[in-house]
Amino acid sequence: MTVQPYSFQVGDVPCLIVLDGASMLGAEGILKRFPDATEADYRTAYQEAGFSLDEAQSCFNILLLRIAGETVLVDAGQGGRPRGGQLPEGLKMAGIDPAEVSLVVLTHAHVDHVWGLVSADNVPVFPNARYVLSEMEMVSWKKRIESSSGDQAPLVELLEDRGLELIPMDAPILPGLSAVSLPGHTPGQIGIVLESRGQSLRHMADLLHSPMQFAHPEWSPTFDVDTRLSVASRRAALAQAAESGVLTMFYHLPFPGLGRVKRVAQGFLWEPLHPAP
């Protein structure tokens, strides 16, 4: 079932978070993904964060915003291969035609962020979009494709044909929109900072994957490529978010993944902003 997208405003910029899909992980899924502690530790951390380990889930939260004359999408979900795939329907519910999307910013090149760019027969889902990705991420993506079955090679070719801009990891994208470096989960992962009329939003991509990582930024999932670096990025970005009190979003937290980070005696605390009923 497609969930009603969550709309909000940052300064003058209308924003929308669309849920591409949500999978139930439960205790078993967390244990499979997180090797650093015990089930009892995870259970306590989930409880203290106001969630239940048995109901642990992974959402795909996709941000759409209209800025500087452009309709920008941040990541594109997994396109139903095999997870996600609800993005087009979610956009439709919000009255948005995929043809309106003029720019897709990719935080990194994992399948749950890029497969939604194309249909199963490699037709672009956003026919008028060009794409932005970090240079560093493209280098590691191409290496990964070379050493695997290469099933994403046609996707990279399509992006390059359609207009792919490779940017440094800290760089302006559009007036009011810029990339910030968040390496570790992948070498070239970027977060997105939106600023308008003194308000701002920080999209933290896959800086973390579970609400228990606020209290325990030292815990990393097995799919963080460089955990030493991902822990350092996590601590630094969470500290900055807590100090500035800025509105923050995370791709994999419970929908819409929007809230504020607070500093507490032990690590950090997540204060989610729930959608209006």
Nearest distance from residue 205's CB to Zn ion, in Å? 8
Nearest distance from residue 110's CB to Zn ion, in Å? 5
CA 247/CA 10 separation, integer angstroms:
9
In the chain, count of helices (H) and strands (E)?
8, 14
Nearest distance from residue 230's CB to Zn ion, in Å? 12
Of 44-52, 104-112, 151-159, 253-261, the segment contacting Zn ion by CB under 5 A is: 104-112
Nearer to Zn ion among residue 16 and residue 76 (C-beta): 76
CA 120/CA 140 separation, integer angstroms:
24
What does the block give as tokens for 132?
């932005």
Nearest distance from residue 270's CB to Zn ion, in Å? 17
Nearest distance from residue 219's CB to Zn ion, in Å? 16
Q: Are 212 and 26 in contact (CB under 8 A)?
A: no
Of 91-99, 105-113, 148-156, 229-237, the segment contacting Zn ion by CB under 5 A is: 105-113
**Residue 206 within binding range of Zn ion, rule CB under 5 A:** yes
Of 173-181, 198-206, 226-234, 258-266, the segment contacting Zn ion by CB under 5 A is: 198-206
**Residue 112 within binding range of Zn ion, rule CB under 5 A:** yes
DSSP 165: E
Nearer to Zn ion among residue 176 and residue 234 (C-beta): 234
What residues contact 150, with CB distance under 8 A and at least 6 apart?
none
**Residue 75 within binding range of Zn ion, rule CB under 5 A:** no
Nearer to Zn ion among residue 196 and residue 230 (C-beta): 230
User: Apex CA 81: angle with CA 77 and CA 85, to 5°?
Assistant: 45
CA 223/CA 33 separation, integer angstroms:
8
Nearest distance from residue 61's CB to Zn ion, in Å? 10
Q: Could you list the beta-strand ranges (E) of the chain.
A: 6-10, 13-24, 57-67, 70-74, 103-105, 130-134, 164-167, 171-174, 177-181, 190-196, 199-203, 247-249, 258-263, 268-272
How many residues make contact with Zn ion (CB under 5 A)?
2
Nearer to Zn ion among residue 176 and residue 254 (C-beta): 254
Nearest to 193 by CA among 247, 112, 270, 254: 247
Nearer to Zn ion among residue 20 and residue 206 (C-beta): 206
CA 254/CA 129 separation, integer angstroms:
28
Nearer to Zn ion among residue 109 and residue 201 (C-beta): 109
Nearest distance from residue 163's CB to Zn ion, in Å? 24
Nearer to Zn ion among residue 112 and residue 195 (C-beta): 112
Binding site for Zn ion (CB under 5 A): 112, 206
